[in-house]
């Protein structure tokens, strides 16, 4: 390939379905996703304080409005992710990242100027509609990276996203004390605007050859020859988020039963929630690279199975450090799922529809982020907290079995490629 002329080389690359700039694109998407996720999650520690500043005085109302404002972004993002994926297939994935970064920069800055809680909720809804940089990055990296390196590349990107989720609340706990809450939002908008500039000038999306308009019955979902793997990935993405988020509503109460010193409950709870994210950060790229070698389906089934096993002892721990350790090990296992989900979709969907399908996959994951806490809180309150862990373990085991049955049986797909 090195002997080809420039135009011939570009044509060959386009035919193979990846970009000569895929490494540069990965770096920009990784840094952009990391910074935008930090900006979007840093409000967690002080969101109730901001709600109170906006005129809500009743304690119960503050908690209620904080939950509504936080969940609004996920709700609107889940509804619009397939649309942005479809538009990216049509007009280019880079254009969707430019739209998302600029939209998020504007929305974050406006949130810092809100005058009442209704405006806050409305702007959080707008942030979900206009945003989606991290999910857009997954689509661009998945479609512009060589297929044999997609697992590793998506693993690196997943590590950046999870690192942003981990670092964001930590920074959010410090910045308002230094600059003030409103100024923190404006600062976050400025950081996202830098990501917008980097995306605009540094990402190089390979131009795709023009395709003839598909005939009736040959486009979109009908163009996917075997739909079982895609449906399995939708369910796996939803299941992953349910498993990781189901503990959120009960973690502090559960830890309080394990830690005799009441002053340490909050710290241990934070460590337990952060441990899974840290484990996933450390393992995502390594498991993605392993999946490129031994097959994505093998890693998915293995990750789900190991997670199911690790959830059982979490229901019977007797000390806080045991829960933290088990959550860390579970994070190590779960870290390979997101890159493998995107890789399997990439390998089983025509490139011209990949963005749309990956957008639906993102919506399924957002749905899991909503269902997980609701189900965990309900089961923990009415059945018992141990039932949350055991029930999630059963779901993960069923997910592993379903993925094993849904995997393609042809020789070309047994490896996940």
Interval 298-325: pLDDT, tens: 999 999 999 999 999 999 999 889 998 9
Q: Is the pLDDT of residue 345 over 80?
A: yes
Question: Nearest 5 degrees, angle CA 65-CA 71-CA 74?
Answer: 155
Which 3 state secondary structure label does DSSP give 359?
helix
In this prediction, residue 110 carries a pLDDT of 94
Give yes or no for residue 2 having a pLDDT over 70: no
Name the residue among 148, 135, 60 with its Cα closest to residue 101.
135
Category of 92 on φ-ψ map: left (φ > 0), alpha (ψ -120 to 50) or beta: left
Alpha carbon 262 to its chain's center? 33
Find tokens 């929305």 and name the residue: 107
Give CA–CA dist 62/89, Å, rounded. 41
Tens digits of per-residue pLDDT, 87-142?
888 888 899 999 999 999 999 999 999 999 999 999 999 998 988 898 889 888 88
Q: Which pLDDT score is estimated for 26?
A: 92
Average pLDDT, the chain: 82
pLDDT higher than 80, residue 198: yes
d(C-alpha 36, C-alpha 132), whole Å: 9
**Which pLDDT score is estimated for 356?**
79
Q: What is the pLDDT of residues 232-268, one digit of tens each?
A: 899 998 888 888 778 776 777 788 888 888 777 777 8
> What average pLDDT does range 378-391 have in this prediction?
86
Q: Given this model, what pLDDT does residue 57 score? A: 84
DSSP H helix total and E strand total for the chain: 19, 0
Helices (H), 92-180: 93-111, 117-130, 133-144, 150-172, 175-179
> What is the reported pLDDT for 243?
80
Winning range, highest mean pLDDT, from 173-177, 313-317, 408-412: 313-317
User: So what's the pLDDT on residue 210?
Assistant: 55
Q: Are residues 162 and 281 in contact, defined by beta-carbon separation less than 8 angstroms?
A: yes
| Angstrom distance (rounded) from CA 196 to CA 210 | 27
Mean pLDDT check: name the lowest of 5-14, 244-253, 327-336, 362-371.
Answer: 5-14
């Amino acid at each position: 390939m090195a002997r080809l002329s420039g135009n011939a080389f570009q044509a060959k690359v386009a035919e193979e379905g990846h970009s000569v700039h895929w490494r540069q694109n990965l770096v920009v998407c990784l840094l952009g996703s990391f910074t935008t996720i930090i900006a979007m999650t840093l409000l967690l520690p002080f969101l109730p304080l901001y709600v109170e500043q906006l005129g809500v005085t009743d304690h119960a109302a503050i908690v209620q409005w904080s939950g509504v404002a936080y969940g609004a972004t996920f709700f609107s993002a889940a509804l619009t992710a397939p649309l942005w994926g479809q538009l990216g297939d049509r007009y280019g994935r880079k254009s969707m990242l430019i739209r998302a970064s600029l939209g998020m920069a504007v929305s974050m800055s406006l949130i810092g100027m809100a005058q009442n809680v209704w405006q806050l909720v409305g702007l959080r809804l707008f942030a979900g509609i206009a945003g989606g940089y991290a999910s857009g990055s997954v689509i661009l990296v998945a479609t512009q990276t060589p297929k044999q390196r997609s697992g590793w590349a998506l693993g690196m990107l997943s590590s950046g996203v999870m690192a942003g989720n981990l670092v964001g609340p930590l920074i959010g706990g410090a910045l308002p004390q230094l600059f003030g809450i409103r100024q923190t939002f404006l600062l976050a908008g400025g950081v996202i605007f830098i990501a917008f500039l980097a995306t605009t000038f540094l990402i190089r999306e390979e131009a795709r050859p023009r395709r003839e308009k598909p005939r009736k019955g040959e486009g979109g979902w009908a163009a996917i020859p075997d739909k079982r793997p895609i449906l399995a990935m939708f369910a796996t993405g939803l299941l992953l988020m349910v498993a990781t988020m189901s503990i959120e509503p009960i973690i502090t109460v559960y830890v309080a039963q394990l830690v005799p010193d009441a002053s340490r409950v909050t710290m241990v709870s934070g460590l337990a929630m952060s441990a899974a994210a840290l484990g996933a950060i450390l393992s995502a790229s390594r498991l993605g690279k392993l999946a490129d070698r031994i097959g994505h389906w093998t890693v998915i089934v293995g990750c789900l199975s190991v997670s199911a096993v690790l959830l059982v002892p979490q229901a019977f721990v007797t000390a806080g450090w045991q829960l933290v350790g088990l959550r860390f090990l579970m994070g190590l296992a779960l870290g390979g799922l997101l890159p493998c989900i995107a890789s399997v979709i990439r390998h089983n969907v025509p490139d011209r529809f990949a963005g749309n399908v990956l957008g639906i996959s993102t919506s399924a994951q957002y749905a899991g982020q909503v269902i997980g806490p609701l189900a965990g809180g309900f089961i923990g309150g009415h059945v018992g907290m141990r039932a949350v862990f055991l029930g999630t373990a059963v779901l993960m085991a069923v997910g592993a079995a379903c993925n094993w049955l849904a995997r393609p049986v042809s020789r070309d797909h047994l490896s996940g490629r």
